[in-house]
Structure 1
Amino acid sequence: MIWHEALHRLQGAAEPHVLASLVGTAGSTPREPGAKMVITADAVHDTLGGGSFEFQVIDAARQALAHGQPGTRLEAFPLGARSGQCCGGYVHVLLEVFPGAAMTVALFGAGHVGQELVRLMAPLPWRVLWHDSRRSAFPDWAADRPRLACHTAPRAEAAVAALPAGCHALVMTHDHAEDRALVDALLTRGDCASIGLIGSASKWASFRRRLSDAGHTADALERVRCPIGVPGAHGKLPYEIAVAVVAELLTLKPREARRDERGVDPGTLRAAFAPPPSAQPTPATASGDPT
């Protein structure tokens, strides 16, 4: 697959990937500046010229993906010394790391509120895993939506077991018993970033009593938000509830650490693009002294 086709697909699906661009060359090199390739954890699209140099680019990209942090880095490859290639040139490769979705939301329930939620989340860079125990619950428009996957699992334990760690779970099925079973399974699993349950305070009081009897600690039960939605929001229409829930999820989204300098380290850029020593003026010439 050509790099730009792969980039378009991976960006739309919010799958982790790295765009590698050859930005500078010196001497004999396998490709010209502007050549690009896209790298994922298990695939490579297009080429920067092959050989040991390309394998090193792929390895550097996958190490960056493993850290899961977005950003850019500039890698220098002396093809003779570092890559062992006989062409002996020198290249700089810019690696742009896209770690995938900013958040993963596991939504249980394809009712009226669930459908409005999915519509609201569609433009956001979030991955949505939509679950319902009823095979006919999902609307036709949910098919082939980017970053949306629909799943049918009759048993709560099976649905919860398939979730990735660190997701934000929202429980709003058509059945209170199913809701309680899902919260039970989510608490037992214990690695969700957050758990939200639709309903009233009285519903949660009933659930809390039964979940406590099932062995869940008070600290664990404090992790469940019920009712859900940003505090102070009012309205009972499905769209109104969905807006309040998405706003609440935005408050739960991890905040990136603030940095004064972003992207490639300025020192790296200065070293990469500084003129060679032969082009630097001598102290005498720089001061205007002809001697």
Structure 2
Amino acid sequence: MNRSDVWHSALDRLQREARPHALASVVGVAGSTPREPGAKMVITGEAIHDTLGGGNFELQVIEAARDALARGESGTRLEAFPLGGRSGQCCGGYVHVLLELYAGAEMRVALFGAGNVGRELAGLLAPLPWQLLWFDSREDAFPDAPGSDRQQRRRIMPGTGGEPDMASAVAGLPSGCHALVMTQDHGEDRAIVDALLKRGDCASIGLIGSRSKWASFRRRLQDAGHDDAALKQVRCPIGVAGAHGKRPYEIALAVTAELLTFKPADAHPDRRGVAPETLRAAFHPVAPGPQKQRA
């Protein structure tokens, strides 16, 4: 297990990369315990960073965090560890651990095209906790300036016939991503949309262009075997409804706003994190009242 990073260095790196992880913090102790309140460690599916004191108690914290991450959970939860009971350690104390779960990127966006709009869009998405997979078939298409840690820039390499291998680029996308198609070539755009529809597991597909462009694409995609239900997945033109402007930055703003409408809403916006009654019971237990005397 990797303990090379102190918890705050690992947390900073994992947050910037939008990778799934958990921050475990000792928030309350009683009796003899391995570490003091405030001790922290960071846990991922492959590594741990720093320590809460070792032993079976720490292994149980790691297991609880990894189980939650494997289920895609996010938010906070409070775990109680009686060291002599649940954890089987001889020190016999009691530890409350707060797990802060980060499921990774809130959204994954596959952007095909590093032209004027694509560059503006990549800049707008960079501060958001989203993962951007950015593709272009041209060798010198991407800007020289470095992107964020969540941006992955990939050139679409030529296939056996010398043309860009769109099918292979699309095949490597994660399931459930939001795809945006805006290359410099209509033939490439159509090949990408065709490959995306054949996958059938994108959260959304957006194609830059006019309604007449989509009418032309639609006929050819129908000829390629895609039915009406599949073709309804494609949005063209793209951008939030009611937005006007043809400048690259204006189009990128409208597309970013549209993507925000696809972001999942909070299931319970009025109750987030550890329930207040759980915290009160953990840190301010109610003292038992006086016992009534039997007559």
The equivalent residue for 2:281 is 271
The equivalent residue for 1:2 is 6
1:45-64 alignment, distance < 5 Å: 45-64=49-68
Q: Structure 2 residue aligned with 1:253, among 248, 251, 263?
A: 263
The equivalent residue for 2:161 is none
Separation of aligned partners in 2, 1:226 and 1:275: 58
Q: Does residue 173 in structure 1 map to residue 177 in structure 2?
A: no
Q: Does residue 162 in structure 1 map to residue 172 in structure 2?
A: yes
Structure-1-length-normalised TM-score: 0.93
Q: Structure 2 residue aligned with 1:113, among 111, 114, 117?
A: 117
Q: Structure 2 residue aligned with 1:92, among 81, 90, 96?
A: 96
Q: Structure 2 residue aligned with 1:127, among 124, 131, 135?
A: 131
Counterpart contact for 2:126–2:147, Cα < 8 Å = no
Gap runs ≥5 in structure 2: 158-164
Q: Does residue 67 in structure 1 map to residue 71 in structure 2?
A: yes
| 1:62 counterpart SS class | helix
Q: CA deviation at 1:144?
A: 5.0
| 2:257 counterpart SS class | helix
Q: Does residue 213 in structure 1 map to residue 216 in structure 2?
A: no
Separation of aligned partners in 1, 2:270 and 2:259: 27
Separation of aligned partners in 2, 1:156 and 1:130: 13
Counterpart contact for 2:24–2:98, Cα < 8 Å = yes
- How many residues are matched? 281
Q: Deviations over 1:130-177 (max 9, x none)?
A: 111112111111x35221110112311111111111110000001111
1:128-147 alignment, distance < 5 Å: 128-141=132-145, 143=146, 145-147=148-150
Q: Structure 1 residue aligned with 2:193, among 174, 178, 183?
A: 183
Separation of aligned partners in 1, 2:126 and 2:135: 16
Separation of aligned partners in 2, 1:116 and 1:179: 19
Separation of aligned partners in 1, 2:268 and 2:289: 39
| 1:145 counterpart SS class | coil
Counterpart contact for 2:107–2:130, Cα < 8 Å = yes
Q: Which amino acid aligns with 1:282?
A: P
| 1:191 counterpart SS class | coil
Separation of aligned partners in 2, 1:135 and 1:100: 30
Separation of aligned partners in 2, 1:259 and 1:231: 26
Q: Which amino acid aligns with 1:123?
A: P
Q: Deviations over 1:237-275 (max 9, x none)?
A: 111111111111111111121344221123322321234
Counterpart contact for 2:84–2:92, Cα < 8 Å = yes
The equivalent residue for 1:239 is 249
Gap runs ≥5 in structure 1: 285-291
Q: Structure 2 residue aligned with 1:282, among 267, 290, 293?
A: 290
The equivalent residue for 1:287 is none
Question: C-alpha root-mean-square deviation of aligned residues, in Å?
Answer: 1.5
The equivalent residue for 1:152 is 155
The equivalent residue for 1:103 is 107
| 1:263 counterpart SS class | coil
